[in-house]
Structure 1
Amino acid sequence: MEDYEERKSWSVKNENIHEELSELMEITEEEKNLLADLKDVAEEQADAMTDDFYGRLMAHENTAEYFEGLDTDNHDFVAPWFVDLFGGTYDAEYVADRLEIGHVHVRIGLPVRYPLSMIDVIMEHGEEVVEESPEPEKAMSAFQKLLSLDIAIFNQAYEDRQLEHLAELVGGERLARRLLTGGASK
Structure 2
Amino acid sequence: MVEQLKLTDRKIELIKKLFYLTKEDENNLLAAEPFITRNLDAIVEEFYAKQLTHSEVEIVIGDSETLSRLKNSMRGYIQEVFSGTYDQNYVTNRLRVGIVHKRIGVSPALYMSAVRLLWDILSDQFEKQYEEGLCSRNEADERQRSLTKLLMFDVQFVFETYTGALVAEVQKAKQELEDYARDLVETVAKQTKELQELSSQDGLTRLLNHRAFYERIRIELAGCARRKEPLTLVYFDLNDFKQLNDNYGHIVGDHMLEALGATILSSIRETDIACRYGGDEFCIIMPGATNGHAKDVCERLINAFVARNDRHKLSFSIGICQTGPDKPMSGDELVMAADARMYLAKAQAKLEPGFWLCDTQETLGKFGLFAAGDDA
Query: Same fold per TM (> 0.5)?
Result: yes
How many angstroms apart in 1 are the aligned matches of 2:40 and 2:111?
17
Question: In structure 2, do the counterparts of structure 1 residues 40 and 19 end up closer, same or farther at CA, with 3 Å as the change threshold?
Answer: same
1:137-152 matched pairs, under 5 angstroms: 137-152=141-156
For the residues of structure 1 that align with 2:173 and 2:14, how far apart are their CA atoms? 29
Q: Which amino acid aligns with 1:127?
A: S
Where in structure 2 are there 5+ consecutive unaligned residues? Answer: 130-134, 176-376
Q: Residue 48 of structure 1 aligns with which residue?
A: 42
Q: Deviation of residue 141 (structure 1)? A: 1.4
Match of 1:96 among 87, 92, 97: 92
The Cα shift of 1:14 comes to 5.7
Deviations 1:96-120 (CA, angstroms, capped at 9, x unpaired): 1011011001111221211211223
| Map 1:5-20 → 2, pairs under 5 A | 13=5, 15-16=7-8, 18-20=12-14
Aligned to 1:9: none
Report how far residue 77 of structure 1 moved: 1.7
Match in the other structure for 2:162:
158
Count of equivalent residues: 160
Which amino acid letter does the alignment assign opposite residue 101 of structure 1? V
The equivalent of 2:72 in structure 1 is 76
Match in the other structure for 2:229: none
Q: What residue number does 2:28 align with?
A: 34
Tell me which residue corresponds to 1:168. Answer: 172
1:57 maps to a residue whose letter is Q
- Name the amino acid aligned to 1:13: L
1:127 to 123, 128, 144: 123
Task: Give the CA deviation at 1:158.
Answer: 0.7
Task: Specify every segment of 5 or more residues in structure 1 that has no aligned partner in the other structure, as ranges.
Answer: 1-11, 172-186
Larger relative contact order (CA 8 Å, sep ≥ 6)? 1
**SS of 1:77 mapped into structure 2:** helix
Question: Which amino acid in the other structure matches residue 99 of structure 1?
Answer: L
Q: Contact between 1:57 and 1:63, CA under 8 Å: does it hold in 2?
A: yes
Instruction: Tell me, in whole angstroms, the C-alpha distance in 1 between the residues paired with 2:29 and 2:155.
Output: 17
Structure ranking higher in strand proportion = 2
CA distance change for structure 1 residues 77 and 70 in 2, over 3 Å: closer, same or farther? farther
Given the superposition, is the C-alpha separation of residues 21 and 15 from structure 1 closer, same or farther in structure 2, using an over 3 Å criterion?
Answer: same
Preserved CA contact (<8 Å) 1:47 1:79: yes
Aligned residues of 1:14 and 1:96 also touching (Cα < 8 A): no
| Corresponding residue for residue 202 of structure 2 | none
Measured in 2, the distance between the counterparts of 1:14 and 1:116 equals 25
Q: 1:168 to 1:19 in 2, by over 3 A?
A: farther
Matching residue of 1:176: none
User: Once the 2 structures are TM-superposed, how far is the Cα of residue 88 of structure 1 from its aligned partner?
Assistant: 0.3
Hey, what does 1:87 align to over in structure 2?
83
Indicate if the aligned counterparts of 1:32 and 1:89 stay in contact, CA closer than 8 A: yes
User: Equivalent residue of 1:118, what SS?
Assistant: helix
Q: Percent of pairs identical after alignment?
A: 21
CA distance in 2, matches of 1:45, 1:153: 27
Judged with a 3 Å threshold, the aligned counterparts in structure 2 of structure 1 residues 121 and 46 are, in CA distance, closer, same or farther, namely: farther
Contact 2:98 2:162 in 1 (8 A): yes
Task: Tell me if structure 1 keeps the 8 A contact 2:47–2:121.
Answer: no
User: CA 1:164/1:146 → structure 2, altered by over 3 Å: closer, same or farther?
Assistant: same
